Amino acid sequence: MKNKIIFIVIASQLLFSSAIAQWIDISPDTILNFKTVFFRDSYNGYAIGCDPVQSSWSSNWLFRTTDNGASWTAPVSSELCAPSVYFPNNDVGYFLTNGSATGSAGVNKTTDGGNTWSFINSTLPGEHLFFVNENIGFACQANEVSKTVDGGITWVNKNIGVSVLDAIFFIDKDTGYIGGWYVSKLAKTINGGDDWTDITTDYNIHAIHFPSSKVGYAVGENLMNIPVIIKTTDWGNSWSEVHTVAAPDIFFFSSISCINTNTCYAVGKYGTILKTEDGGSNWVTESSGTAANLHSVHCPNYNACYVAGDSGVLLRKNIIGTSVSQLSFGTDARVSVSPNPAHTDITVATTVSGKLTIFTTDGREIQDYAISNTTTKLSLPSHLAAGPYICRFNGDDGLATTLLLVCER
């Protein structure tokens, strides 16, 4: 009983902390411009730093942290400043670069979580990467979308017309979205990139993020070059503006990432960070502590979000504990987990299909399960120690998260 009381106290502190989270400077000692940041969990992250003047092949680096940004190393140098790195799982990752100083652009791959990298393809498939699993991935640049089904070894290109593609996001191996500028474009595929259908040509698009299969956000400009954030609630079929900036400013917004369907962060020029917690109805400005242009934001889970920008800027914001609404589906009619506390098994009852993932309270992924729209009995991992854990359900209509207490076996 004493142990259970301790667990409940810890959980209460996690869920109901009233401390206001701030953006923390986790920048390494460099003046390189960071174009992208990607964290595969709450410890392991990557950022691509680019030489501001592009004068030396050895001046562009893939930076890595294994301690949530407390320290960084720069293990791989690159002539090409390609603003994309992607890990579909904890072991396999990809980034675009030159293979050597001789200038052969292409794809690098790791199969050990970033400890070692291999140059696997001398053809540059694009500048922006997205992998749906370790084998199937997509890349875009200029007016082409490229696809691999063999882990980046070979790529097939698809010309999509006159545009400069700047954004790519896939829900699964079949359904994805691309966005571009010069000739405004937001397009969708439902057959794995074989065919693309324009949804709207009213916006330049620089970033896309879908926190669920139904709800998505994108940033860019309208046809008058007014910076906008747009949203869809019908699987990308129609979009509406949820935020605009007063004056024309092309490339003002550069990136957007969401924790769930209601909570998102958008970043852009002059150190701008905007946040919504109500599905885009209201956006508030958060202090970044910098005037540098910000190029990338990534929220890998509910635990933290990360931002990358010019002049060596890397930022982190700890999310957990700042909003009860982000961490509760105790009253959500769509899904329930019982018993709670649990010993060896749990039963998940839900009205929608999705994936249930169990995390430690510091954001490390323990196990995930495919859930159908019915009642499913699941066996907890045998090595799971007694204590509090977070269950996150990613359903067809959004995310929901709750606390799970595991008792002594």
pLDDT, residue 385, reads 86
DSSP-assigned letters across all residues of 366-408: EEEEEE-SSEEEEEPPTTPPSEEEEEEEEETTEEEEEEEEE--
The better pLDDT of the pair 383, 137 is held by 137
- The predicted pLDDT at position 165 comes to 93
Q: pLDDT > 90: what percent of the chain?
A: 53
In the predicted model, is pLDDT for residue 272 greater than 70? yes
| Dist. CA 156–CA 48, nearest whole Å | 25
83 has a pLDDT exceeding 50 = yes
Whether the Cβ atoms of residue 307 and residue 294 lie closer than 8 Å to each other: yes
Q: In this predicted model, what pLDDT tens digit does every residue of 180-198 receive, in sequence order?
A: 998 888 999 999 999 999 9
Please state the φ and ψ torsions of residue 9, each to the nearest 5 degrees: -65, -45
Beta-bridged to residue 68, according to DSSP, are none
pLDDT recorded at residue 3 = 41
Residues of the chain with CATH 2.60.40.3080: 2-10+325-406
The span from the CA of 266 to the CA of 284, in Å, is: 10
The CATH 2.130.10.10 portion of the chain extends over: 23-320
**Architecture label for domain 23-320:** 7 Propeller (2.130)
Report, as an integer, the average pLDDT of 185-213. 94
Q: Any idea which residue has 């997509």 for tokens?
A: 138
| Tokens describing residue 143 | 């007016």
Q: Residue 125 — very low, low, confident or very high, per pLDDT cuts 50/70/90?
A: confident
Contact between 298 and 14 under an 8 Å Cβ cutoff? The reply is no
d(CA 182, CA 384): 52
Roughly how many angstroms between the first and final C-alpha of the chain, as a whole number? 14
- Judge contact between 278 and 262, C-beta under 8 A: yes
Residue 2's pLDDT band (boundaries 50, 70, 90)? very low
Paired with 165 in beta bridges are 180
pTM: 0.80
Fold classification of 2-10+325-406 is Immunoglobulin-like (2.60.40)
pLDDT, position 122: 77
